[in-house]
Structure formats: C-alpha cells, structure tokens
Amino acid sequence: MKKWLQKIIGAKKKNRYTVDGGGVKTGKASFRFDEQNKKQRTTLLKKLNHYWSRKKDGGPAAYQGASRPSGRRKMLLALCLVCGAALFFSSGGFSLFAVLLEDIDYFRITEIRVEGSSNSTTDEIRAASGVKVSESLFSVNEREITEKVRKESLWVDQVTVARHWPDTLILKVREFKPHALIALGEEDRAELYYLDNKGNAFVKTAYGMDLDYPVITGLEDSEDLESIHVDLDAPLELLRLAGSNNPNLPVQSISELHVDDEEGLILYLVEHPFPIFIGDGDIRKKYVRLRKVLEMLYKPRRTGMDIGRVAYIKMDYLKDKVIVGYGESG
C-alpha cells in the first residue's frame, strides 16, 4: 500500500510555490508524477502542513492565482478523503484520524476561550485545564480537561469542551450555585462551606464572601460524606419547599436548620429565636401546616395569638396536631 501511494504521489519539485503579484501559484507544477521515481522525497503530511499554513497566513488572497486542479490531482484528493473516512469509521474513528493531523500547524490552538465562569477567573480555568496554546486541536482530551478543571477549581460543577475549527478551544463552564451553608468539622472548630441543592459541599467560606444563606448545623462530627447526604435529605427538602417564597415562610426567613439525633429537624427563623420542632418525616405536610400556623401568629388582632410571646412550636406533638408553646409572660 505504501509503495502504491508513493507511486501515485510521486516526487516534489523544489519550486512548488511561486509568488506572483501577491498570490501563490500552486498549479500543476506542485507535484510531478514520475512512474520511474518510486521514492517520495517528502511525506504527504508535510505537503498538507505547508499548504494549510500558507492558507491560514495568506487568506483567500493568497490563492488568487491558483490554477484549477487537474483530473489526476482531483482523483488523489478524493482518494485521501475516502481513506480518511475509512480510517475514521473502522478504527475508533476520530482518535486515529486525529493522530494523522496532529502535526499540521493549521490546527494548532491559538486561543483558549472560557465561557460561563463568574467565581473562577478565566486564567484559573485555562491553567487548570492543562492545555497550552500551540498544541494541536486534535490532541485535546475532553475527559482529562474536565477532571483537571473540576479538581483545581472548586466552584466548577461541569465542563463542556468544544472545538471551533481550525484553532480555537472553548471551555464551557457550569459552576455550583450556593443553596445553603453547612457547618463541618469538629464541633468546637467547625467551618462553614457552601452547599448546593444536591447536598454537595464545595467551597469553604472565607472573610468577605456572601453568607446570607440558611445554615445547616448538627452534622459537624459526621464521619463520611455518605452519611451527611442521608442526614441532609430533610433540610434540603424543606429549603426546596421554602424556595416557593410563600410570604409566611420564605427561604429568606430561615436562619438555621439543626439536625438533632433525638428531636429530628429543628428550624429557627431570622426574626424570631424560638425553635420550631419539625421532627422526622412528612416534611411537605409539616411545611404546609407551619405556613398556616405562622399566618395566624402574624395576625394577632384577628386570632389573638402573638408571635412575640411564642417559646416554641412543635409540629409533631401528636398525630395531625401542632402545639404552640408560650413563655411565662404569655
């Protein structure tokens, strides 16, 4: 096969390209098909590299003087396309075909574009990807880039890698969105982390960062992440329900959600310090009832109940019963 291709391609003349009035002539003089000369002086890859680099640098004007390819050259081009397609579909496709084109300068990366990042800088994402300018666009490994970026940039949830041919790599980033804060670590030295709506703790907070989120406590001494995810089911469900922003219990009114081994879930409001014992299970039903209880407490003139005198609310006092406890003054 190799000898047959050498016979078809032939030898390359020294003056393959000539400049004429700002253009480059690439006509029949580009190749000489010599039946007697079976040894190819240069590879097809180098010829393609030279061709594409000139096309990239010179643009359309560089080929104004180019003559139409001969019938034999058309046949050669068609043969290359057929062979390329055969390689693509018969051997894992893109990877093998890419190896043949990696060394062509026309496909070397000149720009790495980052889209969708707000908490991580574009320079951080580029550096984390490990991809360098001047690498071949064919040599990019999407899985490796995703793993590296997610490992180095804690804000990044997902990365989509796209190629804009012939020389631009695009990294489309989707970042985590804080849904709450969670206290983790030893109880006396616990630190706050951002938590997304799926229960993933992804970034430790620091001075100056936005802390205006409900705080989940009681899990400081959890030994592994799996147990934390199980314990987060109830508080996350309550936060999702509160996300509908009912005026009596919007998510902004929640200060803390404490997970207790004996009492279950305990809710604290921003403006009122008394505990609301949610307990275990039936979170949706208890959330709806709590909204109605708070609606009555917020209207003391109509109901005679004043939220300012409340000491606690117990949502699972008895089956289908809620108890509102008042302090000594009430």
Average pLDDT over every residue of 118-135: 94
**242 SS3 class:** helix
**Residue environment code for 262-289, b if the CB has 16+ CB neighbours within 10 A, otherwise e:** ebbbbbbbeebebbbbbbeeebeebbeb
Which homologous superfamily is 108-175 in?
A: membrane protein fhac (3.10.20.310)
Average pLDDT over every residue of 194-206: 93
99-108, 209-218, 244-253, 287-296, range with the lowest pLDDT: 99-108
Specify the CATH class of 180-326 in words.
alpha beta
Work out the number of other CB atoms within 10 angstroms of the CB of residue 141. Answer: 13
pLDDT digits (tens, 9 = 90+) for 240-265: 999 998 999 999 999 999 999 999 99
- Rounded to whole angstroms, the Cα distance separating 158 from 169 reads 16
Does 29 score more than 80 pLDDT?
A: no
Q: Which residue has the tokens 């705080």?
A: 215
Average pLDDT over every residue of 212-232: 80
* Segment holding 83, helix H or strand E: helix 71-90
Domain borders along the chain are 2-101, 108-175, 180-326
- Rounded to whole angstroms, the Cα distance separating 330 from 119 reads 49
Q: What is the mean pLDDT of the chain?
A: 78
Average pLDDT over every residue of 216-225: 77
- Rounded to whole angstroms, the Cα distance separating 324 from 275 reads 11
Q: What pLDDT score does 69 carry?
A: 54
Of 182-196, 226-240, 241-255, 308-322, highest mean pLDDT: 241-255
DSSP class of residue 68? P
Does 73 score more than 70 pLDDT?
A: no
Q: What pLDDT score does 105 carry?
A: 87
Angle at 279 between CA 276 and CA 282, to 5 degrees: 110
> Residue 101 in contact with residue 140, Cβ under 8 Å?
no
User: Number of C-alpha atoms within 13 angstroms, CB side, residue 106?
Assistant: 19
Does 11 score more than 50 pLDDT?
A: no
Confidence of residue 141 (pLDDT cuts 50, 70, 90): very high
Three-class HEC string of 3-37 = HHHHHHHCECCCCCCEEECCEEECCHHHCECCCCC
Q: What pLDDT score does 292 carry?
A: 92
The one-letter code for the residue type at 108 is R
> Residue 39 in contact with residue 2, Cβ under 8 Å?
no
- Rounded to whole angstroms, the Cα distance separating 192 from 122 reads 26
Q: What pLDDT score does 96 carry?
A: 56
